[in-house]
Amino acid sequence: MMMRDPRELGIGVVYSPRLARVLDLDLVDVLEVEPQMFWRATGDPDDPIAIDDAQFSTLRALPQHKLVHSVTLPVGNSQPHDPRALACLRRNIDVLDAPYVSEHLSFNAFDHGSERLWAGFFLPPLQDRQAVAIAATRIDEMRGAVGVPVAFETGVNYLRPRPDELSDGAFIRQVAEAADCGILLDLHNLLTNERNGRASARAVFAEIPADRVWEIHLGGGMPYRGYWLDSHSSHIDDALHTMTREIVDACPNLRAIIFEIMDQYVGEPAREALQGDVRRMRTLWTERGRPTRINLRALPERQTEAPDPGTALRRANTLGALAVGRAPRDPDPALTDDPAVALYADLVASMREGVLYEALPFLVRLLLLSIGPPATMQLITAFHAALPPEQFGADEARHFLVYVRQQALDVRYLDEVLAFAEALLALDGTCETRRVRFTCDPLALLQALQERRPPGDLPPQDVEVEVGADGLLRLAGDAIADVA
C-alpha cells in the first residue's frame, strides 16, 4: 500500500469572489489564492502596491486550506524581482498560512534597449541551461524572500520546438533539480503543448522527477487560429481526465489537485459543470493507489553543447518585443518564421483590450456607441502601438485615459465620462470620495451606458456629484445611484 504524505491537502479551486457565488465551497478542501488579484497600484513610486487586507482576512476565515499561487513574478524573468512585491507576497502567505508558494516557469518582463518592459502575458523562455540557471536563481530569491518552499508551474509554449533546446521534460527536470524545489504540474498546459505539436504530455511526465510534484492543475481550453489555447475557459475533458488518472498514482508527494477557470466563464449556467469538475477531481483524489504504469522511457536531451551565454536573453528580448508590437533591438532569427509569434502578439493585444473593458466599462461603451466598433478598435490598437503594457491593469487604464484625452475626439459627454472613470480608478480600494461635474443628469447618462444604449441628447444641467469607491453617486449626501 502506498504511504500517503501527511501534508496532503485535497482537491480545490483557484478562488475568485464570482466563483464563490456560484460554487458551494464546502465541496472543496483547498482554495488557491492568486494574491495579486487583491493588490492595486497606488501610483506612488515609493510605495507602489496596496493590499486589500480586508479581503485576505475574509479568506483566512474560510475553513478550507489555503495555497498561494503568484501570477506576476514568474521565475523565468532574467532580472531580480522588486523586493517590495516579494514583501507583499510574503504578507499574503503569512496571513493565509500557506505551506508553500507557486509561480510560473515563464517570463513577463524583458529588456528593450535601455528599457525594461512588461509583456502583459506569460511568455516561454528558451529551454537551455542558461534559462535553467536564471529560473533557479529567481526561485532561490523568492524562497529567501517569502520564507516558505517554492514550486514552479509547468508552462504553455505555443512556439515550435528548437533543435538547440532541451526537451520539455528535461527542462522541467533540470530547473527542479537546480533549484531544489517543487513542481506544480499543470496537466492541461502539457496537453495544450501536445495538441499544438510539441512533446506528448505523457513523454514529458516520463522525464520529470515525479517525487517533486506537489500539486496538479486541471483546466480547459478552446481552439483558436489553428491552435489549442490554454484559456481556462471550459471544463475537464475526457482526455485530460484519463491522463490525470494515469499520472496521479506516480506522484508520491502530491498534496493537491486544483481546478482553474477564468471569471468570465463562471456564471449561473456553469454551476452544474463546475460541480462536475469537482466530482471528477474528488474521484481522482480518492481512487489514487491503484497500480498505474507509464510505459515511456525518458527521451534523450537534444542539447549536447554548452549554450551561448546570451542566447536565452536574446530570445526572450526578441519574443517580448514582438509580442508587444515593438521591433527587436537584437533579433533572434530563429523566431522570424514561427507562426506562434503572431499568436502571442494577438493574445497580448486581447489581454490588454480586456483590461480596458474591465477597468473602464463606461468609457469603452461610450466610444463604441459614439464612434462605432471599428474606430474604437483602431483607437485601442493605436494606443497599444504608442505605449507598451503595464504591470498593473489600473496603470494601463490610466494611460488610456490620458491617450483618449489627447485625441480630441468629437464625442458627446466624453469629458464627464473620462472624469468619472478617473475618479473610480483613483478611489479603488480606498475609503475616500471624489467630486465629478456633469453637464447633464449623471444618472440618465450612466444608466444608458450600463444598458449599452446611446444616451442621446440629455437636458443640460450643471450637477456635481460625489463618487465613492463603493460605486455610489451621492448628491447633497444622499446616494442617488449605484454604478459599481
Do residues 469 and 431 make contact, with C-beta atoms less than 8 angstroms apart?
yes
Domains in the chain, start-ordered, CATH in brackets? 10-286 (3.20.20.150), 360-482 (no CATH)
Report how far residue 27's alpha carbon sits from residue 280's, in angstroms, rounded to the nearest whole number: 12
H-state helical runs in 97-224:
129-146, 168-179, 187-195, 201-207
pLDDT tens for each residue of 363-392: 999 999 999 999 999 999 999 999 999 998
Give me the DSSP letters along 261-289: --GGG-SGGGHHHHHHHHHHHHHHHHTTT
Per-residue pLDDT 10s for the chain (484 aa) are 334 455 799 999 999 999 999 999 999 999 999 999 999 888 788 888 999 999 999 999 999 999 999 999 999 999 999 999 999 999 999 999 999 999 999 999 999 999 999 999 999 999 999 999 999 999 999 999 999 999 999 999 999 999 889 999 999 999 999 999 999 999 999 999 999 999 999 999 999 999 999 999 999 999 999 999 999 999 999 999 999 999 999 999 999 999 999 988 887 778 899 999 999 999 999 998 754 444 444 444 444 345 566 888 999 999 999 999 999 999 999 898 899 999 999 999 999 999 999 999 999 999 999 999 999 999 999 999 999 999 989 899 999 999 999 999 999 999 999 999 999 888 876 677 888 999 999 989 999 999 999 999 999 999 888 887 666 666 654 445 555 5
Give the amino acid at 335: L
d(CA 356, CA 382): 14
The pLDDT of residue 165 = 93
In this predicted structure, what is the pLDDT of residue 425? Answer: 87
**Is the CB of residue 208 less than 8 Å from the CB of residue 182?**
no
341-365 burial, b at 16+ Cβ within 10 Å, e below that, comes to: bebbbebbbeebbebbeebbbbbbb
Q: What is the dihedral of CA 208, 214, 218, 222, to 10 degrees?
A: -50
pTM of the model: 0.90
The whole-number pLDDT of residue 466 equals 86
Report which of 395, 389, 324 is spatially closest to residue 359, judged by C-alpha positions: 395
* Cell numbers describing residue 256: 493537491
Classify 154 in phi/psi space as left (phi over 0), alpha (psi -120 to 50) or beta.
beta
pLDDT given for residue 4 in this prediction: 46
Quote the CA–CA distance of 188 and 216 in Å, as a whole number.
Answer: 9
pLDDT at residue 464 in the model = 87
Q: How far apart are CA 328 and CA 314, in angstroms?
A: 9
| Rounded Cα–Cα distance for residues 342 and 140 (Å) | 33
